[in-house]
Structure 1
């Protein structure tokens, strides 16, 4: 009986959090972070302000949690497209294309690449990316290039720098596509960029 009650409480808690994040996402995409108030969020979610502050310290904490969910979803798409048994060069190409596709989810580019840096700052967004899509890219580059580099701090810095440069290029591609650019042209360019970065010999 106690276990059933605990499960029921956990389900209610999760349902409230989910409703808050869904309502906040819709409003942030429609009106922007600055143009969205917490009363609007709780009204759209159908809960009280007290419930909001039970889950999140403030609007920024709610926004950060939303961005974390979005970034985690992008990383999941990349990992699904690039399983561990795929040759590393092919995996990098597949993961790069999966990133671009994942960023076409309505509102995601605005949240992660426009509003996120403006609200949380570049450093916080770099850290968020490093936990998710950036992590998958760095792991792929390390697998592809690691055996061609000495295992020391210099090689780690080289991989980090390549990951940062490619990540910036991929983010720009996502922004261009969101603005109406030719998605196929950017997919082709991304493939060429990855293939020029990772030699064919790196593939097993």
Structure 2
């Protein structure tokens, strides 16, 4: 029994160290950017040894990937949390999009996920992360609206998911640099309504 408790304690300690490293790295990547953040700075901020960092992550890029994964997961959760049971399909899709923009507006997220992410991990690497989180949520929302009759039945789901995701990402980047958030939200809602009108 003691060995079992000891193993559990070791696992919990390991998970805690990993979480501390991800949190420290996130703060530094946001503050300085990926290129200007050195692993000794991450180790110092996390209060762990260099060996602990390399026990959990192969290198700085692998740590960045873990940070991006955690942030993308958080954004998806915030987006999905804004869609309430009983919402009409169009409203659910638009509310989810607005929640996505709000989630990306949190300090550092746009840079981390939309700028540094593709630059560090490559477009394919970042797409893999997106497909597990935000893109998956958006695809599900589009399918829901199509099935409810709010979008054309013959809508090419995958292509539309990619195009709408790009539109929302572009809006987030524009808002980050001072663009009118209300104007971008309105334009995206008009885009969705324009697609819905094809059903009429």
Name the TM-score, length of structure 1 as normaliser: 0.88
User: Aligned residue for 2:13?
Assistant: 12
Contact 1:74 1:99 in 2 (8 A): yes
User: Aligned residue for 2:179?
Assistant: 181
By relative contact order (CA 8 Å, sep 6+), the higher-ranking structure is 1
Distance 1:184 1:5 in 2: 54
Distance 1:185 1:4 in 2: 56
User: Aligned residue for 1:38?
Assistant: 39
Residue 3 of structure 1: how far off its partner (Å): 3.8
Contact 1:70 1:108 in 2 (8 A): yes
What stretches of structure 2 of length at least 5 have no aligned partner?
Answer: none
Residue 194 of structure 1: how far off its partner (Å): 2.1
Residue 171 of structure 2 corresponds to residue 170 of structure 1: no
Distance 1:181 1:29 in 2: 21
Contact 1:89 1:200 in 2 (8 A): no
Residue 190 of structure 1: how far off its partner (Å): 2.1
What stretches of structure 1 of length at least 5 have no aligned partner?
Answer: none
Equivalence map 1:101-116=2 (5 Å): 101-116=102-117
Residue 86 of structure 1: how far off its partner (Å): 2.6
Name the TM-score, length of structure 2 as normaliser: 0.90
User: Aligned residue for 1:52?
Assistant: 53
C-alpha distance after superposition, 1:102-160 (max 9, x if no partner) = 0011100000000001111111112211111111111111121246435xxxx6xx111
Aligned length: 196
Distance 2:115 2:125 in 1: 13
Distance 1:20 1:38 in 2: 10
Residue 84 of structure 1: how far off its partner (Å): 5.1
Contact 1:81 1:94 in 2 (8 A): yes
User: Aligned residue for 2:140?
Assistant: 139
Distance 2:22 2:106 in 1: 16
Distance 2:85 2:61 in 1: 36
